[in-house]
C-alpha cells in the first residue's frame, strides 16, 4: 500500500510538546512584519490553499478575509474593498493606505499586499507594533481559513510541535501526571517506557526535575522539562511512602498508547481511542493474543468516541480484517489527493467474527474502518450513527515551523457513498438505551427492521442531497455511547450465537442495494 501521512482527524489526541516555537516579543517599532520572512510565510500558505483545497477557491477572496483578520489584533484597524479593485486600510475611521488589488489568483502578490497592509497599520497602531510576528500570522491565517471549513486550520510553531508529537511520538519518559502546587503525582506509567524500566509507579510524587523545584511551574513547563531529545538524560527527585531519592532516566521515543484489550468468555474487546503511528501494530499484536484464547469466539472492536487520527493507520487496521477489496477512496481536486486503498490478504483477523461499536463520537479514520468492515461484509456495526467527518486533511509545514492543516479530499466508502455529513449506519441501532437486549435482537432473528432498505439508500445517496442526508441520519440519531453497556451486550450476544451473527451480517451485504430502494427511509431502526 502506498500510504501517506495525512491526518484525517477533526480532533487530535494532544499532549503538550517539548519543542517551543520562536515567539520572541517585539520591542521596536514594526519589526513584526518587516522583511521577507512575513511575505514568504504568507505566500507559501496562500499558495497551498489555492492549489490544494478540496474545492476551487479564488485566492484573492481568501487573502482579503485574511487581511481583515488584522483587526483581531487591533479592532480599530479595518479593511475595505473599494471600486476599481482597490483596497483601503483604515485606522480609527481614517484612511491610512490605499492599494490596488493584485490578480485574483496571484498568491505571492496577495501575500505582499497583506504585509504592506500590516506595515501601514503598524505605523499607527501600538497594538500591532507590540504584536509578535506569530500573532500576525495567526490573525491572518485564522481569518483566511474561517470561510473554508471547520477542519482547515493554522497552527503556530509550538502548537504544530504538539500535533507532531501526538501523531509521531516524542522524546520523553512515558508518564502522565497531575499537577499539584509543590509536586506532580504520576497518574500513569506507560509499559515499556523509561519510567517503567526504572520502576516508577502510579502515585509517585516528583518534586524536582534536573534539580529545578516543581513548585511554581505550570503544566506546560513541567511537560517541556520532562521531554527532550531522544537519548538525553533527565533526573527526577521522587518521593513515595518508603522514602525519597533521585532517579536518572534516558528519554526514548514515546508514542501514547491508543489500544487496550480485555477478554471475557472467549470474546476479546479491543478499544481503539485514536489512530497514531503505533495503532495498527498494537491492534495486530492484541489480535494475535486473542487468537490464542481458549474457546475464542470473536472480537468486539470498540471505536466509540474515537475521533480519528492518521489515515494510513485507519487503513492498516481495516486491512487486518479484510482479505480483499477496497477499504476507502479519497477524491479531491489536487491530483495527489485522488487515492484508493485496497486490502491485501494474509492478515491475522481475516477469519475472525467481528462486531464494531460506533457512536456519535466515532469520526474520520474510525469511520473509515467501520465503513470498510461493513461494506466488505466483515463486521456487524452496533451503536448509533457516527459523526460524519469524512474529509482528508493534508498537513503542510510552513517556513516559520508552523503548519497548515487543509481539507483536500473527501472519503468514499467501498460501496461508493461519501462519508462526510452522513457517517456510517449501524446494523443494530442502540440510540434508545432503554430498549432491551431482546427487542434489539428480534428484528435480526426475524429478518426485518428496516436496516436493509436504509443501508441501500445510504449507499446510493448523493453528497449534494443534503435534505436526504439529514433524513437518513435521523434513522439512528447520533449519541455519545462511550459508557453505554447495551452496545457491548448486543455485541456479545451476536458473537455467542454464530447463526445469529450470520443473519445480522447478511442484513447489510452490498447485494441488497440491487433491489429497489424505497423513496424514503423506513423509519427508525430497532
Residues with a catalytic annotation lie at 364, 375, 389
State the virtual CA torsion across 444, 448, 449, 455 in degrees, nearest 10: 90
Which letter does DSSP use for residue 230 in this model?
T
First to last CA, the chain: 39
> Which residues, 6 or more positions from 33, have their beta carbon under 8 angstroms from its beta carbon?
115, 118, 119, 122, 133, 136
Q: How far apart are CA 314 and CA 100, in angstroms?
A: 48
Cell of 307: 475521533
Q: How far apart are CA 164 and CA 433, in angstroms?
A: 38
Q: Is 169 exposed, middle or buried (0-12, 13-18, 19+ CB in 10 A)?
A: middle
Cα dihedral 189, 191, 194, 196 sign: positive
Q: How far apart are CA 269 and CA 266, in angstroms?
A: 10
Cα dihedral 273, 277, 282, 283 sign: positive
Neighbours of 41 (CB within 10 A): 23
Cell of 209: 526535575
Q: How far apart are CA 424 and CA 403, in angstroms?
A: 30
Residue with cell 439529514: 470
Cell of 516: 429497489
Degrees, nearest 5: CA angle 342-344-347: 135
Buried b or exposed e, range 61-78, using 16+ CB within 10 angstroms: ebbbbbbbbbbbbbeebb
**Is 94 strand, coil or helix?**
strand
Q: Is 514 exposed, middle or buried (0-12, 13-18, 19+ CB in 10 A)?
A: exposed
Amino acid at each position: 500500500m502506498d500510504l501517506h501521512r495525512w491526518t484525517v482527524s477533526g480532533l487530535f489526541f494532544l499532549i503538550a510538546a517539548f519543542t517551543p516555537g520562536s515567539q520572541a516579543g517585539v520591542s521596536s517599532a514594526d519589526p513584526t512584519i518587516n522583511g521577507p520572512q512575513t511575505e514568504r510565510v504568507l505566500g507559501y500558505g496562500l499558495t497551498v490553499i489555492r492549489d490544494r483545497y478540496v474545492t476551487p477557491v479564488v485566492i484573492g477572496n481568501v487573502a482579503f478575509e485574511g487581511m481583515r483578520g488584522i483587526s483581531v489584533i487591533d479592532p480599530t484597524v479595518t479593511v475595505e474593498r473599494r471600486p476599481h479593485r482597490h483596497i483601503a486600510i483604515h485606522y480609527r475611521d481614517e484612511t491610512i493606505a490605499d492599494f490596488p488589488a493584485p490578480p485574483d489568483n496571484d498568491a505571492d502578490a496577495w501575500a505582499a499586499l497583506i504585509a504592506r497592509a500590516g506595515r501601514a497599520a503598524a505605523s499607527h497602531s501600538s497594538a500591532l507594533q507590540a504584536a509578535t510576528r506569530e500573532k500576525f500570522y495567526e490573525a491572518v491565517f485564522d481569518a483566511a481559513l474561517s470561510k473554508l471549513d471547520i477542519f482547515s486550520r493554522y497552527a503556530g510553531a509550538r502548537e504544530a510541535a504538539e500535533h507532531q508529537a501526538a501523531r509521531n511520538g516524542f522524546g520523553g519518559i512515558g508518564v502522565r501526571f497531575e499537577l499539584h502546587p509543590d509536586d506532580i503525582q504520576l497518574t500513569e506509567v506507560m509499559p515499556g517506557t523509561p519510567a517503567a524500566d526504572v520502576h516508577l509507579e502510579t502515585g509517585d510524587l516528583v518534586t524536582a526535575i534536573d534539580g529545578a523545584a516543581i513548585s511554581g511551574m505550570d503544566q506546560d513547563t513541567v511537560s517541556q522539562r520532562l521531554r527532550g531529545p531522544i537519548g538525553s538524560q533527565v533526573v527526577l527527585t521522587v518521593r513515595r511512602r518508603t522514602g525519597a531519592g533521585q532517579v536518572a532516566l534516558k528519554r526514548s521515543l514515546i508514542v501514547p498508547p491508543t489500544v487496550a484489550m480485555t477478554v471475557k468468555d472467549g470474546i476479546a474487546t479491543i478499544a481503539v481511542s485514536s489512530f497514531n503511528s503505533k495503532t495498527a501494530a498494537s491492534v495486530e499484536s492484541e489480535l494475535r493474543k486473542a487468537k490464542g484464547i481458549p474457546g475464542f469466539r470473536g472480537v468486539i472492536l470498540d471505536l466509540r468516541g474515537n475521533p480519528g487520527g492518521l489515515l494510513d493507520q485507519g487503513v492498516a487496521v481495516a486491512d487486518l480484517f479484510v482479505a480483499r477489496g477496497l477499504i476507502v477512496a479519497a477524491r479531491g481536486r489536487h491530483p495527489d489527493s485522488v487515492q484508493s486503498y485496497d486490502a491485501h490478504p494474509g492478515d491475522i483477523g481475516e477469519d475472525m467474527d467481528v462486531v464494531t461499536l460506533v457512536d456519535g463520537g466515532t469520526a474520520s479514520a474510525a469511520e473509515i474502518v467501520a465503513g470498510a468492515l461493513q461494506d466488505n461484509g466483515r463486521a456487524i456495526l452496533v451503536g448509533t450513527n457516527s459523526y460524519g467527518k469524512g474529509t482528508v486533511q493534508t498537513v503542510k509545514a510552513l517556513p516559520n515551523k508552523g503548519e497548515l492543516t487543509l481539507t483536500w479530499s473527501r472519503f468514499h466508502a467501498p460501496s461508493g457513498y461519501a462519508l462526510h455529513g452522513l457517517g456510517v449506519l449501524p446494523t443494530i441501532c442502540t440510540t434508545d438505551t432503554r430498549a432491551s437486549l431482546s427487542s434489539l435482537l428480534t428484528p435480526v432473528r426475524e429478518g426485518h427492521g428496516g436496516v436493509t432498505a436504509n443501508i441501500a439508500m445510504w449507499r446510493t445517496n448523493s453528497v449534494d442531497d443534503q435534505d436526504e442526508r439529514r433524513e437518513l441520519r435521523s434513522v439512528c440519531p447520533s449519541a455519545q455511547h462511550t459508557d453505554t453497556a447495551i452496545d457491548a451486550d448486543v455485541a456479545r450476544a451476536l458473537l455467542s450465537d454464530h447463526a445469529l451473527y450470520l443473519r445480522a451480517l447478511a442484513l447489510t451485504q452490498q447485494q441488497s442495494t440491487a433491489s429497489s430502494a424505497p423513496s424514503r427511509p423506513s423509519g427508525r431502526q430497532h
